[in-house]
Amino acid sequence: MFSVYKKEVQSFFYTPFVYVVTALFMFLFTLMFNNALGNLSQATFYFTFPEIFYNGIFYFIFLIPILTMRTFADERKFGTEVLLMTSPVNVIQIIVGKYLANLTAFLFMLAGSAFFPIFTAIKGEVVVSQLACAYIGFFLWGAMFIAIGQLVSSFTESSIIAAVIGEIIMFVFIFIDDFSMTEFIAQYPTIQSFVYSFAAQPRFAYFSQGFIRLSDIVFFISAIIISLAWNYISIEKRRWKKG
């Protein structure tokens, strides 16, 4: 597994790819940070970043699919999938290794954003507990969509198609709570409750407000495990077809 992880990390950091995505991440974060400062009425910086992280999920849905779109799609496109599948590592190790590499790239992006709370702490005050909750929630949110994006990448050899489908799925998870509140769905409380249970945005909202609920952690971790399990089934099914 480590050999797969090492190969994937090198493909990220030995090329401009992850640095370009991180630059876009930092650009968006800077815009939101400056906007938050512009809304302050006091000379002292005093805010806890919940609004920045909450608004961030609506902007960063464009970055996660870009990060994951090449995970398996490029392996199929360039014919290296066969070499990967015949290597000494098994499918589970391949999937987990690639997933951990994607997470490493995501953590690299998050690390850059640490500049802003540090700057705020120097110039004003930061509520560390709420900031920590926001980071934990944002990491879990990103980790879930990385697993989903990696799964989507295993369905196609086109990284562009993988990115587009990933964007669509992320939009569904973010706005499904609004859909569940529509007048049509509200007529059927059981269906409404079932649809709402898949909503990721309200769960992240609690983290961004400084609250950690076990049910929300279980939701994100369960989504990650299920996505990786489907990823395994997808790869194994194709391997046996070729076999």
**Hunting for tokens 């006091």 — which residue is that?**
42
For position 43, what pLDDT does the model report? 46
The amino acid at 73: A
Indicate if the alpha-carbon torsion angle 41, 45, 50, 52 is positive or negative: positive
CA distance 201 to 185: 18
The amino acid at 182: T
CA distance 138 to 228: 19
Q: Which of 156, 177, 154, 149 is nearest to 60 (CA)?
A: 149
For position 226, what pLDDT does the model report? 95
Percent of the chain with pLDDT over 90: 19
> Does residue 7 have a pLDDT over 60?
yes
Contact 52, 29 (CB under 8 A): yes
Contact 68, 21 (CB under 8 A): no
Q: Residues near 222 by Cβ (< 8 Å), separated by ≥ 6?
A: none
pLDDT digits (tens, 9 = 90+) for 12-27: 888 888 899 889 888 8
For position 40, what pLDDT does the model report? 54
Q: Which of 49, 71, 54, 73 is nearest to 131 (CA)?
A: 49
